[in-house]
Amino acid sequence: MSGNRAVAYQGPGVVKVIDTDYPDFELHDGPGVHPANVGRKIPHGVILRTVATNICGSDQHMVRGRTTAPEGLVLGHEITGEVVEAGPDVEFIKVGDIVSVPFNISCGRCRNCKEGKTGICLNVNPDRPGSAYGYVDMGGWVGGQAEYVLVPYADWNLLKFPDRDQALEKILDLTMLSDIFPTGFHGAVTAGVGVGSTVYIAGAGPVGLAAAVGAQLLGAAVVIVGDLNEDRLAQARSFGCETIDVGKGPVPDQLDQLLGVPEVDAAVDAVGFEARSEGHGAKAKEAPATVLNSLMEATAAGGAIGIPGLYVTGDPGAVDEAAKVGSLSINLGTGWAKSLSFTTGQCPVMKYNRQLMMAILHDRAHIAAAVNAKAISLDEAPQGYAEFDAGAATKYVLNPNGYIKE
């Protein structure tokens, strides 16, 4: 078979659908591919025909030009697909299986993988621990916003759905298992959310909304979501969350109005390094540490903060020289004085994806409705990126091969 189409980063603010090579069982040279990975053989991999692949806020950071991503990089780390070819070393995954792909690539063989730390695998990225499809500084594994994609270590990485027809019926929910649902859930888990918790989530984008659903699954008594975007706050209210507009005053004061106390048991940063200060429009200036500092103030002593929001070590568009290399003015003294705990880094998707799959299949979680999932064609990807960047309260799901029926 020959031919493939994919969404590629073309420079700040520009993505384009391009013609590209059909994948085979080898890593080839290309934009973002680490030289040490060129020529790497993948007999343990499979080739997927993409069923669904989502636009993520992390992709948007690259598209805005806020990372060192090279032009021509094929995007996409949220992948669900049908196996169409299997390498000679694949034993358990079969052609025809419908599978979810964790966004973090892991080998299943290194010390970290064996300890369940699949977000920081030691063997898939020569630059640093941890890897992902179609992402800057992640080893150069080709992204999945495409008609076809290669997935390595298939027996280890892939989550097979038990029933094809059921999977396709619930595909808008199940596609969220590749990243945002486990990532949001991880934020809630690492924040210590449990039965009766009060929870504040900064950011009403898809990951923040997924964290809210996760907090509800974990038994939170009250889930409060904060943002500057009223449409996204309305989306949070649609499934039972309280909301606050962070442009209308300090977070602790607004929490006090809702809860009678100016703090919560647990907090989640679902914003990351492009955070903005309180205020709207031109008044909402970028302040990359503002969310972290507000969460330390708003979290009760002895509490915890989960930080699934992305922070980077290279940001050419940062507000100052320190932030360009990931150094932020964090008020660690407040965190220390209150004995707060922090968890950062990639979510280890495999720790959660099967349990969350079962919650979806048995109608315990309706994540697609919560994040307002909308299927669009591959050719509509540039428009989807533009609308998402403008603040649309929508999770865009690309449907490159027509599996998703309207």
403 inside domain: no
Q: Dig out the tokens for 283 from the structure.
A: 């008044």
Q: Do 383 and 296 belong together in one domain?
A: no
Q: Do 284 and 363 belong together in one domain?
A: no
Q: Which of 343, 368, 387 is the last residue of a domain?
A: 343
User: Which of 324, 18, 20, 320 lies closest to 150 in space, CA to CA?
Assistant: 20
20 inside domain: yes
CATH code, domain carrying 148: 3.90.180.10
Q: Do 270 and 393 belong together in one domain?
A: no
Task: Give 335-376 pLDDT, tens digit per residue.
Answer: 999 999 999 999 999 999 999 999 999 999 999 999 999 999
Q: Do 94 and 145 belong together in one domain?
A: yes
Confidence of residue 1 (pLDDT cuts 50, 70, 90): very low
Q: Do 386 and 318 belong together in one domain?
A: no
**Considering the chain, what percentage of its residues have pLDDT values greater than 90?**
86
404 inside domain: no
Task: Give 20-48 pLDDT, tens digit per residue.
Answer: 999 999 999 999 999 999 999 999 999 99
Q: Do 154 and 187 belong together in one domain?
A: no
Instruction: Say whether pTM exceeds 0.85.
Output: yes
Distance CA(202)–CA(200), nearest Å, equals: 7
Q: Which of 343, 360, 388 is the last residue of a domain?
A: 343
User: Which of 21, 67, 63, 133 lies closest to 383 in space, CA to CA?
Assistant: 63
Q: Do 256 and 394 belong together in one domain?
A: no
CATH code, domain carrying 327: 3.40.50.720
159 inside domain: yes
Q: Do 125 and 258 belong together in one domain?
A: no
CB of 353 within 8 A of CB of 177?
yes
Distance CA(32)–CA(140), nearest Å, equals: 5
Task: Give me the residues paired with residue 53 across strands.
Answer: 79, 398
Domain span holding position 115: 4-179+348-398
Task: Give 229-278 pLDDT, tens digit per residue.
Answer: 999 999 999 999 999 999 999 999 999 999 999 999 999 999 988 887 75
